[in-house]
Amino acid sequence: MLAQFRPAFSLLVILTLLTGAAYPLIVTAISQVLFRGEANGSLIMQGGKAVGSKLIGQPFADPKHFWSRASATSPNPYNAAASSGSNQGPTNPALIDAVSGRIKALKDADPDNKLPIPVDLVTASGSGLDPHISPAAAEYQVERVARTRNIPPAKVRELVAQHTDGRQLGFLGEPRVNVLELNLALDNTK
């Protein structure tokens, strides 16, 4: 029995060192050299302080900011430790109430806006953490943001265009606007 135990134990120690220590250290070192920003959370820094991540949505309720996509995480919105969707179907009364409340909030914030409300402004993403909105969702909010900031809508549209990412590799996904980056750019606009 000892003859079988020794090679098994030796293999356990060797594989533990390789896969539990060496491999993670090598991958971490490579990612820190080649993809430092991404490996450290894609943090957005201002004045030497992290103000958020490009990858995690944040709540914005002030009319002078673009509003993010709704979050379904719990117990708090945009909780990265609890990434999940709501798992509510289209006939679920809780989902209908949540969407109705979001529609009301959008209309109350901009009662003169007659554009159709884009679906991504009233529904949560699958992760509940989406940092992006569609260009249509940004356009829906342009007039409200311009009016509350007292700047021309054309200037706001210009900033939206600057912060709109196209399809990945030219054909994957949809164009999208990073809400945090756009709001930071607006806050830095004179």
- 166 and 183 share one domain: yes
Q: What SS3 state is found at 124?
A: strand
Inform me whether the pLDDT recorded for 43 exceeds 90.
no
Answer whether residue 128 shows pLDDT above 80: no
Asked if the model's pLDDT at residue 86 lies above 80, the reply is no
Identify the pLDDT of residue 129.
Answer: 85
My answer on whether 87 and 26 are in the same domain is no
Query: Are β-strands 43-46 and 132-133 bridged in parallel, bridged antiparallel, or unpaired?
Result: unpaired
Confidence of residue 29 (pLDDT cuts 50, 70, 90): very high
Q: Which residues contact 178 (CB under 8 A, 6 or more apart)?
A: 54, 131, 132, 163, 165
Distances (CA, A) of 190 to 54, 148, 153, 162: 23, 14, 14, 16
Q: How far apart are CA 7 and CA 61, in angstroms?
A: 62
Letter for the amino acid at 136? Answer: A
Residue 49 has pLDDT above 80, yes or no: yes
pLDDT at 87 over 80: no
Could you tell me which of 114, 121, 151, 149 has the C-alpha nearest to residue 135? 121
Residue 169 has pLDDT above 80, yes or no: yes
Please tell me whether residues 137 and 176 are part of one structural domain: yes
Q: Are 106 and 17 within one domain? A: no
Residue 139 in this model has a pLDDT that exceeds 80 = yes
- Whether residue 16 is found in the same domain as residue 104: no
The pLDDT value recorded for residue 71 is 86
Let me know whether 82 and 169 are in one domain.
yes
pLDDT greater than 90 at residue 125: no
Tokens of 144: 């409200």
Strands (E), the chain: 43-46, 49-53, 132-133, 164-165, 176-178
Residue-range definition of the domain harbouring residue 95: 43-187
From residue 129, alpha-carbon distances to 69, 70, 112 in Å are 8, 8, 29
Question: What's the structural domain count of the chain?
Answer: 2
Q: Whose CA is closest to 66, among 158, 154, 151, 143?
A: 143
Are 166 and 122 contained in the same domain? yes
Is residue 119 located within the same domain as residue 85? Answer: yes
51-74 mean pLDDT: 89
pLDDT at 140: 97
Residues 88 and 18 occupy one common structural domain: no
Q: Higher-confidence residue: 153 or 92?
A: 153
Can you tell me the mean pLDDT for 178-188? 94
Q: Are 140 and 153 in contact (CB under 8 A)?
A: no
Shared domain for 78 and 156, answered yes or no, is yes
Residue 75 predicted with pLDDT over 80: no
Contacts of 145 (CB under 8 A, 6+ apart): 63, 64, 65, 66, 156, 186
What per-residue confidence (pLDDT) applies to 3? 83
